[in-house]
Each structure stands twice: as C-alpha cells, then as structure tokens.
Chain A
Amino acid sequence: MRISVSVDGTVYEDDVEPRTLLVHWLRQGIGKVGTVVGCDTSNCGACTVLLDGRSVKSCSVLAVQADGSTVTTIQGLSTGEEWHPVQTAFKECHGLQCGYCTPGMVMSTVDLLSENPSPSEAEIREGLEGNLCRCTGYHNIVKSVAYAAELMGGGSR
C-alpha cells in the first residue's frame, strides 16, 4: 500500500505491506535507526515517537496507519549541533547510561512537558510509566525531566 508520511521534516513516499509496523518502516524502510525496538508486548516504550505531536509506541502503530501523518523521532528533535532542552537535561543530569531506552524516554518527556510544563516528581514518575530503563533506576531520569522543565521555563514543582 502506498503511504506518504512526513518524518523529521522530510516527506517520504513508500509502498509498504499492511503488516509493517511503523517502527520497522522507520528503521528499515527509511533508515531512521535512532528509534529502537526493545520488546514485543508494548511494555518498554523504547520505540516511542511523536505521531502528529503526541507520544505513541511505534511498535503499536502500523505504518499504513501513519499515512498522511507527521512523525517526529529522536533524530528530528534537534538539528545539527543544536540540542533540545530535554536532550541537554538528560546529559547534564546523567539521565542515561547504555542509552537504549533514551530515545523513548526523551520523546515521552517531550510529550509530558508539552502537556504539563511543571510536573511534580510523582507526575514525572507516572508520566514515564510507559518507558522502561534497566540502567539508571530512574533516579537521574526523573531529575533530568525536572531540569528540562526548568530549562523550558516551566520548572518542576
């Protein structure tokens, strides 16, 4: 089936099998390998991208369902040497170790802060419940999100 999807600012047209998951199309179809797969049960959230501005698990969307939509991946969050404040905050607060969950964590954080610019610690923790990390124990991820909120002018409660 023919689809047309805008990904990180470029419109891609492609023929895909209906069974193709959005994450597989991103990775193998158009080489957006910054978005990764961590599970097959929708638990880990590593594949989180923004679909028309909202966070979704790209393993749980068919590529054909994204037809006509806009996708933002970790690779489209900032350009070149520029850093998105969420990326800056994760580095500054050591919010990542192996980095495999990071694309999903960062994209979920972008969504979380767009909805709630000044989240409390509890709201941060609940807001990230769809993303698993095995390295950090979440302590520094939570700090990163609070710091990102601060950088973006919201601040954490």
Chain B
Amino acid sequence: MIPVAFDYVRPTSVDEAVAALVAGGEDAKVLAGGQSLMPVLRLRMAAPSVVVDCSRIDEIRGIREEGDAIVIGAGTTHHAVMSSALVQQHLSLLAKATASVADPQIRHRGTLGGALAHADPAGDQPAAAAALDASFTIAGPGGRRTVGASDFFVDYFTTAVGPDEVLVDVRLPKRTGWGAHYEKFNRTAQAWAIVGVAATVRMDGGRIAEARIGLTNVAPTPVRARSVEAALVGAGDAAAIAAAAQSAADGTSPTSDQHADAEYRQHLARVLTARAVQKAAGL
C-alpha cells in the first residue's frame, strides 16, 4: 500500500515532459490520470525512478472540432470525454465506451490518453478507438509524429509510444449520426471486461450502410472485426446481423484465465457482436 520512493516532476508543457523522460531514462514513468499507475505503485509492482506528472500540461487537455474530426487531448479525463457534447454528437461510441470505464471516481481522474497508452487488452476505449479509426499524435525528443490505430496498439500493455515519448492527442473522424453501442460483458460491474464489443453503424433506409466494430480482450491488442463489418453492409434485421456476426471471432487470439477460456471468449465475441450491432442499429 506504500509505493517505493521515487522522484517527481510536474512539467507544464509537452516539451518539458519529454525532456524529463529523457533525463529520467528507462525507469521514468508518465503519470497521466494515474488510475492505472497508482494501483501498480501501491502494490510495488513498479518501481519508477522518476514519475513525470503530465496532469498539469494544459496543451494536452480539452476537446476540439477540427473539420471532419474531433481532437481530444490525451490528458482529458474520462468524465470530460463522456460528458462532452461534441463527443456525444459526433462520437457516440466513444462516449458510451468511456462511460463504461471503471467507476465515477476513476473516471474523474483517469484520462483517455492514459488509458489508450496503457493499452490494457481489457480496457474499454482501445476497441472504440480502433473502431473509430483514431490516429494518435506522439511527441518525443525528435518531434511529433502521427500513428494510426492499427500501428498504435502493438502488444499487451504496449503501444507505439516510446519510453521517452508522450501521447499528445487523439484524432477521431466524426461519425455524426451513426448509431453506437458498447457491449461490455463482465462478472461484476467493477470487473474488467471479459469481452467487449464496440460497434457503430451508419444506417440508410433501415439497413446498415457502414459498420465499424472493435473487440475488447480477445487478443493482445484491440481487434477490428473487418469481416463482420463487410458482411453487415445491407443487413436490415436481427437474423442478418447474427449471420454477419458469426465471423466475429476470426483473427482473435484470446487468452484463458479463471473467468473465461479462449473458446468461451470467442463464443462471446460472436454473440455479443450481434447484440452490440443490433443495439447500435436499433434493429
């Protein structure tokens, strides 16, 4: 319950933060909202030499409209994301996935960027970010670069953000008017998702015209269910959706744990994908 001793710096700009990470070396750790880092520190599962607290960097906070996209600062809290009128209007899926993260207290502190950079395979927002074709601005000693979702999530708890880099913001193309649903399957409300399905669809004449689907916790990284997306085009009823969802487990490689083995996770991926799409489509 008592972390190991560490140094602490509180930069007020991205450049300062990067400089602090470079100076801190391999054992430096970024603190965003801290809601994933603090438990690890309390249990002494991490022993950083220096904690770089990025919670007071104004330039990485806030939500803004940029043409066809919404740009969300990495340091924006979950609560701010889910409450944002812009997000609710243009990125309903992200609002819903974010509302299912942990609990109100954690959503008040935890940040979108922190959760994405932490890349917990059971986290709710990575699948939504994948489904929404997010791109990521990363700042490092060599300047800034932009990475797409497929390149951002690398492995379990591993992203394209290097040890001396800071995630600056997340850019998401607007999905205005799209139906959305995040189907989270867990044993208790507090528990992590056994499987989650982030689905958003554009309807046209009572049929699905376009679909984007991301899956939580069925692989080391969030999975885009592209074959389902393709099969859903034109679907206009529950049966068609269920048929399309049959391929939801394709390309997944779930782990087995005490709550669910791989086979069960793949089964859930199919069942829950159908349900999520039905709810997103209102069918």
Contact = CB atoms under 8 A, between A and B. Distances in A.
Interface string B22-53: 00000000010011001101110000000101
B105 A108 contact: yes
Interface stretch (A52-60, A73-81, A85-93, A149-157): A52-60
B53 A65 contact: yes
Nearest to A44: B190
B239 to A, nearest CB: 30
Contacts, number: 92
A54 B108 contact: yes
Contacts of A17: 5
Chain B interface size, as a band, is 20 to 34
A34 to B, nearest CB: 17
Contacts of B106: 42, 57, 60, 130
Contacts of B3: 19, 21
A26 to B, nearest CB: 14
Interface in A20-36: 21, 24
A18 B8 contact: yes
Contacts of B118: none
B55 A129 contact: no
Interface string B172-188: 00000000000000000
B39 A40 contact: yes
Contact of B6 (A19, A59, A129): A19
Contacts of B105: 45, 48, 55-57, 60, 108, 111, 130
B102 to A, nearest CB: 7
Contact of B2 (A19, A45, A55, A56): A19
Given A19-B41, A40-B1, A126-B189, A56 B109 contact: yes
Interface of B: 1-8, 10, 31, 34-35, 38-39, 41-43, 51, 53, 55, 79, 102-106, 108-109, 189-190
12 contacts: A19-B5, A21-B1, A41-B43, A42-B39, A42-B106, A51-B108, A60-B106, A61-B38, A62-B38, A64-B53, A112-B104, A127-B104
